[in-house]
Amino acid sequence: MKPQRALTGFTVLDLGIMTAGAATSALLADAGARVIKIESERYPDPFRKWSGAGLTGRGSSAAAFDFTNRNKMGVSLDLKTQRGREAFLKLSKNADLVVENFRRGVLEKLGLGFEELRKQNPRIVLASLSSQGDVGPEAHYKSFGSTLEAMGGLAAITGYAGENPQVSGKSLNFPDQAVSIFAFGAIIAALLAAKRKGQGEHIDISQRELILYMVGEYIAAESVRHGSAVGELCRGNADASGRFQGCFRTAERRWVAITAPNETARNELASICGANSPGDSNSQRDLLAAVTTFVAQSRYEIVAEVFGKAGVSVTRVLAANEVLNNLKNAHWHAIMPGPAGGLVKGVPFLNRISPFCIERPAPKLGEHSDSILAEINEHPSTTSTDLA
């Protein structure tokens, strides 16, 4: 018998594509839910053929797809056909949750909006993840994650001191990743509420608003002090709360990140590097120059040892391949070996009592159509054009 996990017994119909929706559903699968990914030959998840940012194929599908869809089952249904739509609605009768991140209006155009789903299953939860939310004058905007960093306020506070704002870019696309971590918890809140009230719930999550939330203290500060300009808010690697901090190059020409977590450590650092200690912006500049010189003349091990003894945090700036090399040496679960070999995306946190499991590789398109559609008396082999 399989171990029971937090969401064992729940069924999720996953219309999530790319990162935000698909990664959220993957977390639900890790927590024990039976997640059925719905795609079709005509409209597969674009991540199946993704080749950007070094994520080329490593087998029959692109690595981007494998990483974010492991632990799911796959059913092929063309939701634009009457039979495909009807099959989806039949599946929804026995499902607990639908996750989607289509462009706004698509679900309704397919005849699969929340009201339609509720007619089939009054207790169903619909989780919609979108760029700007379901409603509003810009709800129809097309955006990728970095568009929303700009429109949500994060770009305005990211950049070299006094220079242009920056976005995290294609290799990170921060909002798409961050939203899944939040959405997973919000969806469980909706499942709890649905159970308690015995009725369906619709949650509408805006990625732009998530970014706004994650710069909330700047909004609070701006609302009482007013008027920051471009460049004023970009402060490089300076600590958001003013502690001495920065990236410096060692004698080996390697970057290290250095933070003095308190005034005592800052004064010790100044003393080690021969700078004036406390005080005004001049001494801050003096300290920056002194640390730059000291670190440039020292090897990493020396910097780490000497500064560490002074209570100063020193860490190497690692490239992605160096992070992977470290995987052998510690308790990593964010990236882990997958059930079909190779690495896959793991889990962001651990459940000590009933651990998350990654048991199956990402499904081939329609891999489980036969068995799952048989549960609703549909037979894809005889109706393949409409269903898949």
Q: Does 213 bind another protein (CB under 8 A)?
A: yes
Show contacts with another protein in window 137-166 (CB under 8 A).
137-139, 141-144, 146-160, 164-166
Q: Does 237 bind another protein (CB under 8 A)?
A: yes
DSSP string computed for 104-142: TTHHHHTT-SHHHHHHH-TT-EEEEEESS-SSSTTTT--
Centroid of chain to Cα 308: 32
Cα–Cα dist 171/210, whole Å: 20
- Give the HSE-up count for residue 178: Cα atoms under 13 Å, Cβ half-sphere: 20
Can 176 be counted among the known catalytic residues?
yes
Single out the residue of 284, 351, 383, 384 in contact with another protein (rule: CB under 8 A): 351
Single out the residue of 105, 122, 136, 341 in contact with another protein (rule: CB under 8 A): 136
Helices 174-197 and 145-152, interaxial angle, to 10°? 90
* Nearest residue (CB) to another protein, 226 versus 377: 226
* Nearest residue (CB) to another protein, 269 versus 387: 269
Query: What burial class does residue 213 get, using C-beta atoms within 10 Å of its C-beta: 0-12 exposed, 13-18 middle, 19+ buried?
Result: middle
Query: What burial class does residue 141 get, using C-beta atoms within 10 Å of its C-beta: 0-12 exposed, 13-18 middle, 19+ buried?
Result: middle
What does the block give as tokens for 280? 């005004």
Sequence-ordered list of residues with C-beta below 8 angstroms from that of 256, at least 6 positions apart, any chain: 247, 248, 249, 250, 295, 300, 303, 304, 314, 315, 316, 317
Single out the residue of 41, 42, 49, 52 in contact with another protein (rule: CB under 8 A): 52
Cα–Cα dist 60/47, whole Å: 12
In eight-state DSSP terms, residue 58 is S
* Candidates 71-79, 271-279, 340-348, 371-379; binding stretch for another protein (CB under 8 A): 340-348
Show contacts with another protein in window 243-282 (CB under 8 A).
243, 245-249, 255-257, 259, 261, 265
Q: Does 101 bind another protein (CB under 8 A)?
A: no
Show contacts with another protein in window 284-313 (CB under 8 A).
304, 308-309, 311-313
Least distance from another protein to the Cβ atom of residue 386, Å:
27
Least distance from another protein to the Cβ atom of residue 104, Å:
12
Show contacts with another protein in window 192-211 (CB under 8 A).
192-193, 195, 197, 201-210
Cα–Cα dist 75/236, whole Å: 47
* Nearest residue (CB) to another protein, 341 versus 379: 341
Q: Does 93 bind another protein (CB under 8 A)?
A: no
Q: Does 348 bind another protein (CB under 8 A)?
A: yes
* Nearest residue (CB) to another protein, 262 versus 385: 262
> 14, 176, 286, 386: which is the annotated catalytic residue?
176
Please list the active-site residues.
176
